[in-house]
Amino acid sequence: MLLHLEDFLLDLQANNYSQETVYNYERDLKVFEQFLTESKIDFGKIDKRTITHYKAYLTSRDRKTAIQSQPGQKQLVSRSVNRMLSALRSFLKYLIEMDYPCPVPPEAVKLTKTERKHGQVAELNDLVSLIEAPSHLESNRTVGLRNRAMLETLFATGMRISELCNLNRNQIDDTGRIFITGKGRKQRFVYLTPRAREHLDRYLITRQDSCPALFIPYAGRNVAKPKKRISTNYLQERIKRYREKLKINVPTSAHSLRHGFATYLAEEGANPAAIQILLGHESLDTTTRYVHASDKYAKETHKKYHPLSE
């Protein structure tokens, strides 16, 4: 048991961290607690060697055992490992700030090297096919209208899937501007395209309810709830199904639409700082990781600008 863990989580809440962030810190620190229990190590006696063993423990874990997710998950990637190490480092910093005993300095928790992957974003025509898929792959017309509106909104705005599912009807003004509170409670505007507004209007005409949520389920256990809203898991599952039906070979998810949004804006010459604002990123470095030029664009750039191309 980690002493002062509950106090740490309460401190996060008092400092206006979102409920989701507090939950993530608790979940990740529970993994460290599990490691100490399995290793029979008292928290007060941990040292730098313990931290090294914990990093090895994390890299050997998979998502199922480390964060109690669904079966069949892959081994934890370096970013997930670093998120858990960062949670531990924040906890140690809190202990020092509150004058509680802290067995190792926070800087002793060093992050692991992250792998750099070649960014994969589906070609624009494949993304368009995916966005349009609900119109002809869904047998229920109302479901098709709703799912098409969700995908159009995702790609038009570049918002996160969690932001989309949390949208309320009153967040959209007459110009198609949407004011959202995103990750870390950061607030920003995103904008619908005329095309996305058209499909959203087609969907909203079918709504005969007073539910505030913009996107609601039509089946399942949440249908009877007055505050019902569509789940992220549902949308991810449908995107996977559409992708398989369309035989799109590049891994594509709701997050891929966000990457595609940034990539194709950049290819059209959009200012990186503007893309940063639209995505809600605090750092421009984060934005540049999202902008993955397609192989086709890279080939054309090489041909156009290489000094010995002729």
The amino acid present at 100, given as its one-letter code, is Y
255 is catalytic: yes
Please answer whether residues 248 and 122 qualify as being in contact, where contact means their C-beta atoms are separated by less than 8 angstroms: yes
CA distances from 4 to 9, 46, 85, 95, 278 (A): 9, 16, 18, 8, 38
- Give yes or no: 160 in active site: yes
183 is catalytic: yes
In order of 30, 96, 110, 154, the CA distances from 106 in angstroms are 18, 9, 9, 39
- Give the torsion through C-alpha atoms of 8, 13, 19, 25, to 10 deg: -20
Whether residue 221 lies in the annotated active site: no
How far is Cα 212 from Cα 171, in angstroms, rounded to an integer? 10
Catalytic residue among 199, 243, 259, 281: 281
Of 148, 160, 197, 243, the active-site residue reads: 160
Buried b (16+ CB within 10 A) or exposed e, 184-215: eeeebebebeeebbebbeebeeeeeeeeebbb
Residue 277: helix, strand or coil by DSSP? Answer: helix
Catalytic residue among 17, 93, 255, 297: 255
- Catalytic entry in 146, 148, 243, 258: 258
Q: In terms of residues, how long is the chain?
A: 310
Whether 305 sits among the annotated catalytic residues: the reply is no
The tally of CA atoms less than 13 A away on the side-chain side of residue 91 is: 27
Q: State the catalytic residue, choosing from 183, 207, 229, 240.
A: 183
Q: Is the dihedral of CA 66, 69, 74, 78 positive or negative?
A: negative
| CB 122 within 8 Å of CB 130 | yes
| Helix (H/G/I), strand (E/B), else coil: 62 | strand
Let me know if 299 is a catalytic residue.
no
Task: Give me the active site residues, please.
Answer: 160, 183, 255, 258, 281, 290
